[in-house]
Structure 1
């Protein structure tokens, strides 16, 4: 499988200090957060963590993809919400791995249309492209 070329129109830049127990900041200063491992991983849980940041980015990106698909399909997704749950744990090989569950609530369409829109958004979303074949991503419609 070849990697498609990307005509980059924007590049986000963030730098981490002290890894999962430190600080992450964007080069423009709009993001500057303390990161700490969650209590479930033996950390203080005082700050955010990379999985929360990934879930925030994925849910926002997926919501954008859903809006694009809805416009193409002439469907109303106003009032919709997308939630991403990102899990981290050990793989069967002993490495660390991630799982993702994307849940979409789309109140202005029927369940069948909502499922179709979510499936199409999964084909459009850049995060979905990046994770496809690498992370188990489960899609649900709430």
Structure 2
């Protein structure tokens, strides 16, 4: 596998203690969350807590949305109403251990479906760093719904 170098523009640092039943926060304090294992995974599912999968889904959805915006701008297309929904599933893998799977949905009523699909595919294939990091590592489904 070829690893390409990046020119760092920004860094994010977070510290987690206690694993899935602990606490995570960023060094700048912009994100601070308590974690607990959901009942579906055999945990307590404490009220007011989140999971690593929720954090990943939120980050991937935001990053993917930014990539869609960037790709659209490169084609001089405005997609002001784009809605990106990222669903992250977690569970046991056939090969052992646990894995995740992602279902991404991009919706816009301001761009025809085929044009939106081209922009979204470009965002996924060429721009989004989360897509680059997960490509061929996890199951990924993409749904595009345009005007």
> Normalising to structure 1: TM-score of the pair?
0.96
CA distance in 1, matches of 2:124, 2:109: 19
Alignment size in residue pairs? 142
Match of 1:93 in 2: 95
Is 1:52–2:66 an aligned residue pair?
Answer: no
1:47-93 Cα deviation digits (max 9, x unpaired):
10000000000000000000000001111210111010001011111
CA distance in 2, matches of 1:9, 1:116: 27
Shift of 1:25: 0.7
Shift of 1:94: 1.8
Alignment of 1:115-130 (within 5 A): 115-123=117-125, 124-130=127-133
Match of 2:22 in 1: 22
CA RMSD, 1 decimal: 0.9
The secondary structure found in structure 2 opposite 1:113 is helix
CA distance in 1, matches of 2:112, 2:52: 34
The secondary structure found in structure 1 opposite 2:103 is strand
The secondary structure found in structure 1 opposite 2:19 is coil
Shift of 1:26: 0.6
Unpaired runs of at least 5, structure 1: none
Alignment of 1:100-119 (within 5 A): 100-119=102-121
Match of 1:68 in 2: 70
Match of 2:144 in 1: 141
Could you list the runs of 4 or more consecutive aligned residues of structure 1 that deviate by over 6 angstroms after TM superposition? none
The secondary structure found in structure 2 opposite 1:87 is strand
- 1:131 aligned to 131, 134, 139, which one? 134
CA distance in 2, matches of 1:132, 1:32: 28
> Normalising to structure 2: TM-score of the pair?
0.93
